[in-house]
Every structure is written in C-alpha cells, then in structure tokens.
C-alpha cells in the first residue's frame, strides 16, 4: 500500500549552508544600515546642540549691548571700542567671515558654559533724525543697531543676530 521511496542524502548537500549564508548577509546589511542611521542621527543632534549654544551666546551678547545703551549711551561712534556709524567700512563682515573683528568689537563680559569663545558684538549709531529735530540743532539719535556673533561648542558653528534698539 504505502510506497517508500529512498531519498539520497547526497543530492541536497550544501543547500542549507548557502541559504544560511544569504540570510546572514542580509542580516549584516540590515545591521550596517541601522548603525549608519544611528550615527547620522547622533551627528544631527550634536549639530542642533551647537546651533542652540551659538544662538544663546549671540543672544547674551545682544542683551549686554542693550543693557549698555539703557544705562548710558556711549560717546564717540568712530569705529573704536566696537562703536560705529551705520555703514562704516571698518565694520566686521560677520556674514562672510564670523571670526572677523573689523576695526574693533566688544567682547561679552559674562561667562557662558560649554562655549569656548565668548561672543562679540558691535553697536552702530543710526542717522535717523528723531521727530521734532531738524538739521540745524543737535538731537541725540535714538536708534541703534546691535549685531552680535556667538559660537557653539566649536568656533565653526556661528550664529549672527541683529537687533534695532531705541533709547528713551
């Protein structure tokens, strides 16, 4: 009734080995892809941290510049001590070269953790004539532009911020 058939053990030798090697190769490729993704995400997180540190450093320098103007407006916007007229040719060219100090800059006096280079800023005096003044009388300009540059965990991650500050 039942037929028995004898299967030769020699005809299928090595097929399990080939299949298992292919499966091992696929699992290795999946593992390598997962490691690459993890490394990329780690780099993105580090860059985001640097960007945040640079922004906070630049913001701190802006606030110090505003505080300087709030207490007493400095005299002599001649390009010395980080004080300029708007459009002065000696201004630092921070968008093109964040490490540029131009004629001079003001270095942030506070301390920031995790930031190797203290932020810098400049204050520019505007030529806007306030209402009620004319060119025959002297009126103190009431608008100033403060520009700051801050760096994150390294000096290759700059953030540049600008604000307009009005006195009185």
Domain range summary for the chain, segments of one domain joined by +: 15-166
| Residue-averaged pLDDT of the chain | 85
3-state DSSP: the chain helix, strand, coil percent, rounded to 5? 35, 15, 45
Question: Between 67 and 80, where is the model more confident?
Answer: 67
pTM higher than 0.95, yes or no?
no
- Tell which residue, 67, 70, 50, 31, has the closest CA to residue 153: 50
Residue 139 has pLDDT above 80, yes or no: no
pLDDT of residue 102: 82
The contacts of residue 142 (CB under 8 Å, 6+ apart) are 126, 128, 130, 166, 167, 168
């Amino acid at each position: 009734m039942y037929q028995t058939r004898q299967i030769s053990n020699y005809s299928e030798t090595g097929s399990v080995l080939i299949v298992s090697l292919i499966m091992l190769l696929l699992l290795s490729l999946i593992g390598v892809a997962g490691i690459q993704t993890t490394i990329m995400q780690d780099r993105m997180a580090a860059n985001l941290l640097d960007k945040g540190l640079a922004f906070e450093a630049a913001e701190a320098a802006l606030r110090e510049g505003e505080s300087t103007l709030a207490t007493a407006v400095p005299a002599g916007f001649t390009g010395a001590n980080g004080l300029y007229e708007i459009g002065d040719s000696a201004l630092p060219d921070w968008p093109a070269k964040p490490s540029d100090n131009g004629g001079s800059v003001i270095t942030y006096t506070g301390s920031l953790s995790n930031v190797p280079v203290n932020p810098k800023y400049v204050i520019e005096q505007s030529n806007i004539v306030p209402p009620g003044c004319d060119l025959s009388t002297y009126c103190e300009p009431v608008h100033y532009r403060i520009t700051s540059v801050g760096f994150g965990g390294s000096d290759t991650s700059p953030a540049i911020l600008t604000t307009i500050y009005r006195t009185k």
